């Protein structure tokens, strides 16, 4: 399936939130096959530290995510409707004002600035609409692309969980990054509602 065929069913989807060059549409159970194919990419599987698993199991997980009130999941779309990623706020705690950011970009759309744009839009949603105080992100310490993307989006390196991830028989350290409301407010960039 080429990109034009992949974009067609997504072009009419409602745009819930916008970044500079991307938009978010709410995740649907029918998106499972597309996201499953992105997760099967060897680079993505390594960087996320997960096995792709079966499509059936993943579809059930997506259905559970859609119903989960402690998370917000979206497809990341280009202006023409081409889906390029999956982004989420997970483990949302509105009492404490915290959540964890998650981002997966399709292999053909990495290293183009879309990740930083999507994360900026996500943090605008978290702080500007949901009123959160802190957004955290976790990734392997050797995932230099993700670390750079998170840094460009304003996240600050806070520490390392040593040997906290097992993937393909090897232990990996995870970097913990965070963005606080005051740090987000100090970022000099247009906000999502200005696009």
* Ordered alpha helix ranges (H), 21-153: 32-39, 42-48, 55-67, 114-124, 144-152
Its domain, for residue 14, covers 3-194
Tens of pLDDT along 29-86? Answer: 889 898 888 887 776 666 666 666 788 788 888 888 777 788 999 999 999 899 999 9
Q: What is the CATH number of the domain that holds 152?
A: 3.40.630.30
| Single pTM value for the model | 0.85
Buried b (16+ CB within 10 A) or exposed e, 164-195: ebeeeeeebebbbbbbbbebbeeeeeeebeee
Tens of pLDDT along 130-185? Answer: 999 999 999 989 888 899 999 999 999 999 999 988 777 788 899 999 999 999 99
CA 189, 190, 195: angle at the middle one, nearest 5? 150
What's phi and psi for 77, nearest 5 deg?
-120, 145
Number of domains in the chain: 1
């Amino acid at each position: 399936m080429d990109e034009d065929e992949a974009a067609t069913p997504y072009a009419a989807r409602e745009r819930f939130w916008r970044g500079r060059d991307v938009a978010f549409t709410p995740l649907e159970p029918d998106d499972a096959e597309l996201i499953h194919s992105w997760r099967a990419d060897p680079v993505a599987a390594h960087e996320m530290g997960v096995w792709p698993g079966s499509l059936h199991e993943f579809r059930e997980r997506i259905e559970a995510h859609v119903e989960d009130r402690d998370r917000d999941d979206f497809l990341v779309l280009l202006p023409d409707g081409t889906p390029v990623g999956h982004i989420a706020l997970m483990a949302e705690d509105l009492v404490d004002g915290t959540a964890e950011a998650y981002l997966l970009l399709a292999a053909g759309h990495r290293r183009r600035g879309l990740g930083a744009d999507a994360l900026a839009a996500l943090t605008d949603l978290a702080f500007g609409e949901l009123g959160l105080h802190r957004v955290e992100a976790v990734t392997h310490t050797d995932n230099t692309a993700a670390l750079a993307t998170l840094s460009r989006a304003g996240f600050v390196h806070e520490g390392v969980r040593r040997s906290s991830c097992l993937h393909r028989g090897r232990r990996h350290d995870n970097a913990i990054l965070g963005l606080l409301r005051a740090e987000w407010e100090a970022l000099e960039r247009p906000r999502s509602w200005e696009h």
